[in-house]
Structure 1
Amino acid sequence: MENTLATWWPMAAFFFVSSITPGPNNIMLASSGLRHGFRRSVPHMLGISAGCMAMLLVVGMGAGQMFVRWPLLHTLLKLACGAYLLHLAWRTATAPTSLAAAPAASAPETDRPLSFWQAAAFQWVNPKVWAMILGVVALYIPSGPFALQLALAALIAGAVNLPSISVWTWFGVGLRHWLRSARRMRAFNRVMAALLVASLVPILGM
């Protein structure tokens, strides 16, 4: 039991550092918190955590070995990730410069927060999440009944990830008072878009 606990704490710390540091998820959450508020961004946050947990379970049970057997899949994943991030960067850069106070039936597609399923699906093309999941499976899963340990690791991932990423959503909410002008809002959107494009750099070294 003591050896298991000694492994869980470093794993939780690894999840915390991986979750709270800048990356595509957190950049998008800061933008969503600013544009749509905390409540409307909740499905986005839940989708991220659920997607990470699902990835950990699937990859831990052996799906990650597909990349070893078929390297082309890894290349296709990188291309899909890059294309989707560029799409999100364009969507962010061209977002309206007025803040959304409430959902509107006439709101344009570019001004809607990500849904639960969109956010969950995005984790499969997020290079930072892949690095986190593969690192956990390779280094932190304790010995013992592997399926049980993997399930516990997924629960720890969700428990650590959700409050960590919510910090970035609150950060975006806190900026609402400072970005009331269209000029500042446009500049913020473009900076967020540039950061998303910059997050493509890790893909080049994968």
Structure 2
Amino acid sequence: MPILVPPDWNLLTFAFIAASVAGFTPGPNNTICMVSSASVGVFRTLPFAWGVTVGFPFMLAAVGFGLGGVLIAHPSLHLVIKIIGALFLLHLAWKIARARAPIKKTAPQLLGFWQAFFFQWINPKAIAIAFSLIATYTRPAPALFADITYLMFITTLVSISATLTWTLFGAGIGRLLKTAKALAIFNGVMGLLLALSIVPIFLL
């Protein structure tokens, strides 16, 4: 069974770093959690946060198992896809590091669990992260499906942590990132960590 394939802990460590950096940086999910919490309170924001936490790993699994079939049929494509994923992560790291626009605290329309769940399929950042994690931090068959399962656990943990952080401390984070200097420091550190997490994947 694929799940019995032992994990590559080095690979999963860097996958966790990349997922954490991508998951905690500002994006549609986190911004909605932050602004909703500041506008209507933590309790009314939790259904959306929970929908993100459940919806993203499901979307990642659908992407991964569909892509997995292609990689099993054509193992040589795995390196090509890994390179493409790494290049995209570098592009994302560059965009994060250069981001300077402050987050706008406009009152959002309150979204519930199912809206957040299906929102992942039209969220460009979530889709890009899912494809990049699958392409970059998985091994060829027979370990591929096991690695996808491990990534589901990692992204569930990251999603819980990120959405709760932005929900509970959203107002404080919003004030911190309001100044250009604070935002530049935060985004610079996040972009650098994301870029560094890519380097070891080609040595595994």
- Please give the TM-score of this superposition, normalised by the length of structure 2: 0.58
In structure 1, how many angstroms separate the alpha carbons of the residues matched to 2:42 and 2:171?
Answer: 7
User: Match of 2:133?
Assistant: 136
User: Match of 2:40?
Assistant: 36
Change (3 A) 1:24 1:150: same
Residue 145 of structure 2 is aligned to residue 147 of structure 1: yes
1:34: how far off? 0.5
Residue 117 of structure 2 is aligned to residue 120 of structure 1: yes
After TM superposition, what 4+ stretches of structure 1 lie above 6 angstroms from structure 2? 63-66
Change (3 A) 1:5 1:175: closer
CA contact (8 A) 2:68 2:145 kept: no
CA contact (8 A) 1:34 1:174 kept: no
Question: Which of 43, 47, 56 matches 1:52?
Answer: 56
In structure 2, how many angstroms separate the alpha carbons of the residues matched to 1:23 and 1:14?
Answer: 15
1:151: how far off? 1.5
Bigger drift between 163-172 and 11-20 goes to 163-172
**Structure 1 alignment gaps of length 5 or more:** 67-91, 96-109, 179-206
Q: Deviations over 1:34-71 (max 9, x none)?
A: 112222211111111211101111000116999xxxxx
Q: Which amino acid aligns with 2:21?
A: V
In structure 2, how many angstroms separate the alpha carbons of the residues matched to 1:44 and 1:64?
Answer: 29
- Please give the TM-score of this superposition, normalised by the length of structure 1: 0.58
CA contact (8 A) 2:7 2:146 kept: no
1:2: how far off? 8.7
Change (3 A) 1:167 1:62: same
1:163: how far off? 0.7
CA contact (8 A) 2:166 2:173 kept: no
In structure 1, how many angstroms separate the alpha carbons of the residues matched to 2:35 and 2:68?
Answer: 31
Change (3 A) 1:142 1:38: farther
Aligned length: 136
**Structure 2 alignment gaps of length 5 or more:** 71-104, 176-204
Classify the secondary structure of the residue corresponding to 1:41: helix
CA RMSD, 1 decimal: 2.9
Classify the secondary structure of the residue corresponding to 2:50: helix
Bigger drift between 7-16 and 39-48 goes to 39-48
1:173: how far off? 4.6
Q: Quote the sequence identity (%).
A: 30
Residue 22 of structure 2 is aligned to residue 25 of structure 1: no
CA contact (8 A) 1:60 1:150 kept: yes
In structure 2, how many angstroms separate the alpha carbons of the residues matched to 1:163 and 1:29?
Answer: 12
